A and B are shown apart, each in its own frame.
Chain A
Amino acid sequence: MNIKLCISLVCIILIGGCAGNQGPKATDSRASSGKKFKSNGKTQPSAQTKPAKIRSTPPKNSAAKILLAQADTALTQQAPVQAIALLERAIRIDPREALLWIRLSQAHLAQGHATAASQHARKAIALAGSDAVRTAQAWLQMADVMEAQGERQQAASLRRRYLRFAG
């Protein structure tokens, strides 16, 4: 069990390193939610604490993948309400895909709904299960939520803990 865990962590670090620059959508939408922090009077994550880019493997379900892409576009265009509708539709199709819940959390955060964003990040963490990349993504989203809620220390601590899965 422990050996398996070690191997998977090594693989994740390697993959994460290689894929550090391959996730424009995730990066864009994350930046978008950051802009919204500002517009909602919330603290924007500092450069030091802002998470590095993480490889964002798309959902396996083709329909969910398309809707996620559309939601990403909506988020970059600062249209979180539209993004929420698209992501909820995607979740109805593929409810156990943690990435969709992560994006839903981002969309709610962009809209200024920190409580909903926090709960959706928790949901993503619960669904990520043994997928370490998804788990890291979900926790980093939780860090964003915490930062927005003024819990900067906890956010920084989470980022320190999960940034090692990124390149």
Chain B
Amino acid sequence: MVKKTPTSDKTKGSSHRKNSKSSKKADSWLKRLSNWALRALLKLTLWTTLFATLAGLGFGYYLDRTITKTFEGRRWSVPAQVFAQPLEIYAGQRIKKTQLVEELQRLGYHSDTNLAAPGSYSSSGAILSTYLRNFDFMEGSRASQRVKITFQNSIINRVQAEDNSEIPLIRLDPATIGSFFPSHGEDRLILTPEQVPPLLAKGLKAIEDRNFDKHRGFSINGILRAAWVNIRSGNRSQGGSTLTQQLVKSYFLTNERTYERKLREVAMAIILELRFSKEDILTAYINEIFLGQNGARAIHGFGLGSQFYFNKPINELAVHEIATMISIIRGPSYYNPFRHPERALARRNRILDTFLAGGLISNPRHQDAIGSALSVISSPNSAGAYYPAFMDIVRAELSERYSASDLRSQGLRIFTTLKPREQENAQKAVSSTLQMIEKERKLDKGSLQAASVITDTQTGEILALIGGRKGRVDGFNRALNASRSVGSVIKPVIVLTALESGLEWSTLVNDTPITMTSDSGKRWTPRNYDGKTRGELPIIRALAMSLNLAMVDLGNTISLGEVQRRFTDLTGYAPKNRYPSFFLGAEPMSPLQLTELYGNFASGGFHTTPKAVIAVLNEQGQPLSHHPFDLTQSIRPKTVASLNRGLEIVMSHGTGRSSPFAKQGVAGKTGTSNDNRDSWYAGFDNSKLSVVWVGRDDNKSTSLTGTSGALRIWNNMQISGGVDPIIHSPDENLVEIEFATGMRAAKSCADVVVIPIRRTDTLTVKLGCGVRKSFGQRLRSIFNN
């Protein structure tokens, strides 16, 4: 406050004093104002600073929490790995040496006469030596070891260890057939710091971030250099990022190139460096970095990248392969070694030069690496074991027990029943046969589709599953989802019901025209495929020749309800079609459902739901779930043995007789739906049940029958391995009957089939065949006469 002074008009120079007074007043007011402004400014600065500090701290805390949470979370977010069935190796195993070499190659083993490292093999004469990789099986770990396998006539004769001691049983490591990556598509195989090859770690630093070990997350020099380049070029092309910044960018930020984003990147990188060790950050980078795109699947990290580009684990990569992988980081699309091999090769060689200059590799190793080809596999998914159709059934089976999030992030290890050799063989047969058929019949290329399921006859485990003609492409899975009319492959259910009701294979049925009228007044007049009728004939002929009229007659004899009840027993679900057209297979089923039906026959009378998963282990190798064999007896042994004899006759005498394997002890049934829309074959030998479907996705006619379509595919599936003839029980009541009439006969006088007949005295004996009548028959003929 300014002190008030007394004023007097009488004093000299009062005006001056007045002026001076007012001036003083103004001064003091200005002073007051400036003081107030100063104080206000001070306060404002203080408050602003306080707020800024608090906001900064809050933002810093937020960033810190986000980064820590994400970093920790991402470190352990591992997609489930799915493994095929490992190949068992033991003396007596029936496998050709070439087939075993193929198995090893599929696993990414390479030829090396010295067997210097795991993942190699050497073949000479009758001996195949291999250095097996270590693997954590369900029952425990198997260390890497050298094994000598001796062959004799396509059979393994001996299996020996390095010290020539006998190995009674050993397995190859199983193929990795896929993983359950999240919906955003990121797939990865996590590596621990110990699994990272030293050259990869050093090489990454040398190429991407020379001062990685010294800086605190960002490099001023790098940023200034990048800024200088950007200013000169007029755009923001240079990043100047450290490995830490690259990791931050991959975790949290977009590819947007702005200075604001750059600042956030730097802040986050500093926090990351404060929070975690250099080793943690480098390992995270190695597991995180984007290395390519394969359809919906994004290849992240060097663990998966190594498998994707070279089909082998990271620890088996050669110097030039590590350099190739590092070269991809800069531009996974631009330096894609599949699409731009020359570009990738040039960059790889520059990287190798840097390795040499930095003292990471010696001169001879550099020379050797420079002289090496890129050596990536021929194309994505062309090597190894990538089977998306099979993965669908694994996913479906596991969805009952595990959440999608568990499968995508918990690092589960899933062991399955798939046999890659079966899968490859079946896929090859499907693709080549369809091509052949289209060419022969002048059909549009690619117009036909097919699906197939192959299971073990005794366990019901799925050995192979083909979802379409292109095996390594994700897409509509016809084996699981194409529900199509099955045609005549349903007929064995009618015959089974008939046999169980006491009828014999020789029982006569009428192959004559029939018209049936439903309750709604709708008339149904079935016809035979060739339009002919054949009158009375035995059930075996009706089934073998797939005669529609005779089968409808038989179905009517035992009733639709009975047949459908049996169908439900054998499949676990009620049929959709409640009309007699069901007898002729007007019932939509998927190849997998048909496999379940035929599994009852192939297994010798046991129902089992085809399954794909053996066990699920957690990331630490502890078992989470075991999926045991699950079977239920569904048909009496003698009845199913009899039915299977009939199905063998279908092959030897009926619609399957054109197959080169028809008379080698296989059982099966062909099927064709109306207007030749669907071509089916379901059949089995001693060890494998196969179901094959051929058709068109638009459901138009294919002009194929079961024999000319699906059976041909099955034939081609058997060429490489042959068939394993069905083993019969010796206590079947086998009788020779004439195929055409069902009369008891002998080979010498008739076309006979050998089939179980329970009551032989019911048989009519063919005259002039030299077959003696039983006492009962003689007695009956006396009374009849």
A contact residues vs B (CB 8 Å cutoff):
61-63, 66-67, 81-82, 84-86, 88-89, 91-93, 95-96, 104, 108, 116, 119-120, 122-123, 125-127, 129-130
Q: In the complex, what residues of A have CB within 8 A of residue B629's CB? A: 88, 91, 104, 120
**Contact of B368 with A by CB under 8 A:** no
| Docked CA distance A92–B462 (Å) | 12
Shortest C-beta distance, B10 to chain A (Å), equals 121
A85-B139, A116-B628, A123-B606 known; A130 and B456 CB under 8 Å? Answer: no
Q: Per-position contact with A for B91-106: 1 when CB-CB < 8 Å, else 0?
A: 1110000000000000
A126–B169 CB distance below 8 A: no
A62–B687 CB distance below 8 A: no
A63-B93, A126-B637 known; A93 and B458 CB under 8 Å? Answer: no
B457–A67 CB distance below 8 A: no
Closest to A97 in B: B458
B91–A62 CB distance below 8 A: yes
Shortest C-beta distance, A23 to chain B (Å), equals 21
| Docked CA distance A71–B92 (Å) | 21
Shortest C-beta distance, A154 to chain B (Å), equals 16
**Contact of B377 with A by CB under 8 A:** no
A126–B459 CB distance below 8 A: no
B459–A95 CB distance below 8 A: yes
Shortest C-beta distance, A3 to chain B (Å), equals 14
Shortest C-beta distance, A134 to chain B (Å), equals 13
Highest count of chain B CB atoms <10 Å: which of A95, A122, A130: A95
B628–A62 CB distance below 8 A: no
A95 is contacted by which of B139, B458, B731 (Cβ under 8 Å)? Answer: B458
Closest to B169 in A: A63
| Docked CA distance A88–B88 (Å) | 13
B90 is contacted by which of A62, A84, A120, A130 (Cβ under 8 Å)? Answer: A62
Q: In the complex, what residues of A have CB within 8 A of residue B458's CB? A: 91, 95-96, 123, 127
| Docked CA distance A125–B91 (Å) | 28
B459 is contacted by which of A84, A91, A108, A129 (Cβ under 8 Å)? Answer: A91
B727 is contacted by which of A63, A82, A91, A96 (Cβ under 8 Å)? Answer: A96
A82–B139 CB distance below 8 A: yes
B729–A95 CB distance below 8 A: no
Q: In the complex, what residues of B have CB within 8 A of residue A91's CB? A: 458-459, 629
A85-B138, A116-B628, A126-B604 known; A92 and B457 CB under 8 Å? Answer: no
B168 is contacted by which of A62, A84, A129 (Cβ under 8 Å)? Answer: A62
Closest to A65 in B: B168
| Docked CA distance A82–B631 (Å) | 20
Q: In the complex, what residues of A have CB within 8 A of residue B162's CB? A: none
Q: In the complex, what residues of A have CB within 8 A of residue B727's CB? A: 96
**Contact of B461 with A by CB under 8 A:** yes
**20 A-B pairs (CB sep. < 8 Å):** A62-B91, A63-B88, A63-B169, A81-B623, A82-B139, A84-B626, A85-B139, A85-B615, A86-B139, A92-B85, A95-B458, A95-B459, A95-B687, A108-B628, A119-B606, A119-B632, A120-B629, A120-B631, A122-B633, A123-B631
Q: In the complex, what residues of B have CB within 8 A of residue A82's CB? A: 139
Shortest C-beta distance, A122 to chain B (Å), equals 5
Highest count of chain B CB atoms <10 Å: which of A96, A104, A130: A96
A126–B626 CB distance below 8 A: no
Near A by CB (< 8 A), chain B positions 590-619 give 604-606, 614-615
**Contact of B630 with A by CB under 8 A:** yes
| Docked CA distance A84–B139 (Å) | 11
B93–A95 CB distance below 8 A: no
B169 is contacted by which of A67, A92, A96 (Cβ under 8 Å)? Answer: A67
**Contact of B730 with A by CB under 8 A:** yes
Shortest C-beta distance, A123 to chain B (Å), equals 6
| Docked CA distance A123–B637 (Å) | 10
Q: Per-position contact with A for B499-517: 1 when CB-CB < 8 Å, else 0?
A: 0000000000000000000
Closest to A104 in B: B629
Shortest C-beta distance, B237 to chain A (Å), equals 57
Closest to B635 in A: A126
B604–A127 CB distance below 8 A: yes
Shortest C-beta distance, B481 to chain A (Å), equals 28
Q: In the complex, what residues of A have CB within 8 A of residue B461's CB? A: 92
Q: Please provide the 3 A-B residue pairs with the shortest distance between their CB atoms, ordered closest to farther.
A: A95-B458, A63-B90, A63-B169
Closest to A84 in B: B628
Q: Per-position contact with A for B317-347: 1 when CB-CB < 8 Å, else 0?
A: 0000000000000000000000000000000
Q: In the complex, what residues of A have CB within 8 A of residue B605's CB? A: 126
| Docked CA distance A122–B631 (Å) | 10
| Docked CA distance A94–B632 (Å) | 20
A116–B169 CB distance below 8 A: no
Q: In the complex, what residues of B have CB within 8 A of residue A120's CB? A: 629, 631
Closest to B728 in A: A129
| Docked CA distance A147–B325 (Å) | 64
Closest to B636 in A: A126
B637–A116 CB distance below 8 A: no
Near A by CB (< 8 A), chain B positions 455-510 give 456-459, 461
Shortest C-beta distance, B272 to chain A (Å), equals 43
Shortest C-beta distance, A12 to chain B (Å), equals 15
A93–B88 CB distance below 8 A: yes
Shortest C-beta distance, B505 to chain A (Å), equals 21
Closest to B633 in A: A122
Near A by CB (< 8 A), chain B positions 626-679 give 626, 628-633, 637
Q: In the complex, what residues of A have CB within 8 A of residue B615's CB? A: 85
Q: In the complex, what residues of A have CB within 8 A of residue B168's CB? A: 62-63, 66
Q: Per-position contact with A for B431-462: 1 when CB-CB < 8 Å, else 0?
A: 00000000000000000000000001111010
Shortest C-beta distance, B724 to chain A (Å), equals 10
A63-B169, A127-B604, A130-B729 known; A92 and B631 CB under 8 Å? Answer: no
B626–A81 CB distance below 8 A: yes
| Docked CA distance A85–B628 (Å) | 8
Q: Per-position contact with A for B55-81: 1 when CB-CB < 8 Å, else 0?
A: 000000000000000000000000000
Given contacts A82-B139, A126-B633, 17 further A-B contacts (CB under 8 A): A62-B92, A63-B88, A63-B90, A66-B169, A85-B139, A85-B626, A88-B628, A88-B629, A91-B458, A93-B88, A95-B456, A95-B459, A104-B629, A120-B629, A129-B730, A129-B731, A130-B731
| Docked CA distance A122–B630 (Å) | 12
| Docked CA distance A84–B630 (Å) | 12
| Docked CA distance A104–B626 (Å) | 14
Shortest C-beta distance, B634 to chain A (Å), equals 10
Q: Per-position contact with A for B678-712: 1 when CB-CB < 8 Å, else 0?
A: 00000000110000000000000000000000000
| Docked CA distance A107–B74 (Å) | 41
| Docked CA distance A122–B607 (Å) | 12
| Docked CA distance A120–B91 (Å) | 28
A130–B730 CB distance below 8 A: yes
Q: In the complex, what residues of A have CB within 8 A of residue B628's CB? A: 84, 88, 108, 116
Q: In the complex, what residues of A have CB within 8 A of residue B604's CB? A: 126-127
Highest count of chain B CB atoms <10 Å: which of A86, A96, A123: A123
Shortest C-beta distance, B462 to chain A (Å), equals 12
Closest to B614 in A: A88
Q: In the complex, what residues of A have CB within 8 A of residue B92's CB? A: 61-63
Shortest C-beta distance, A46 to chain B (Å), equals 28
A95-B457, A96-B458 known; A119 and B169 CB under 8 Å? Answer: no
| Docked CA distance A46–B288 (Å) | 63
Q: In the complex, what residues of B have CB within 8 A of residue A85's CB? A: 138-139, 615, 626
Shortest C-beta distance, B149 to chain A (Å), equals 14
Q: In the complex, what residues of B have CB within 8 A of residue A93's CB? A: 88, 90
Closest to B730 in A: A130
Shortest C-beta distance, A61 to chain B (Å), equals 7
Q: In the complex, what residues of B have CB within 8 A of residue A127's CB? A: 458, 604
A119 is contacted by which of B456, B633, B686 (Cβ under 8 Å)? Answer: B633
Closest to B461 in A: A92
Q: In the complex, what residues of B have CB within 8 A of residue A81's CB? A: 623, 626
Shortest C-beta distance, A96 to chain B (Å), equals 7
Q: In the complex, what residues of B have CB within 8 A of residue A92's CB? A: 85, 88, 456, 459, 461
Q: In the complex, what residues of B have CB within 8 A of residue A129's CB? A: 729-731
Shortest C-beta distance, A125 to chain B (Å), equals 8
